[in-house]
Amino acid sequence: MRIIIAGLLAFVAWCVFSAWMFNDNLLPVLKKETVVPVPAGNEAGTAASPDLPEASLPASLLVYFDSGKSDIKADAQLESRIAPFLAWLRDHPDSKLLITGHTDLIGTHEYNMQLGFERAQAVTGLVLKLGIERDRIISESKGETLPAAGYISEENRAKNRRTEITIKLP
């Protein structure tokens, strides 16, 4: 019985001591306001900063094609959708326009690489007509290597027959 009473007294003493430590020493420190200095580079907020050019990059533009074709589908709004890219290139002379052609899985790898390049060249021709200098444009083909969707359904294969227009930063 003495052991139980001694243990109980030790437990009560420990509870009183820990409550006193918490209330007098730890609680004031936890309630104290602290000022956290922000580093000059602000790595955490880089993408959200409006002063940086990356924050105002135009979103990628996709131009879709019919199966096995490199002719641009009739789209009355295509030129207006390219306008933000033209404005970006005017404002940032070190940037380039990256035009990447893609295909679906139908055909050989060599055929798809060539077709993707022809699609990129078709969009490049349109962009050249709009006034961008040739040395500011990079045209490439990824063929079937970077699908945007699966290859099982015709709807997904149609999503893969595309050319993507993006900005390449220096």
Pairwise CA distance, residues 160 & 155, whole Å: 9
Q: 143: burial class by Cβ within 10 Å (0-12, 13-18, 19+)?
A: buried
pTM above 0.85, yes or no: no
- Provide the residue ranges of all domains of the chain, joining segments of one domain with +: 56-168
Q: What is the CATH number of domain 56-168?
A: 3.30.1330.60
pLDDT tens digits, one per residue of 115-164: 999 999 999 998 898 888 899 999 999 998 888 888 788 888 888 999 99
Q: Is residue 98 scored above 50 in pLDDT? A: yes
CB 56 within 8 A of CB 130: no
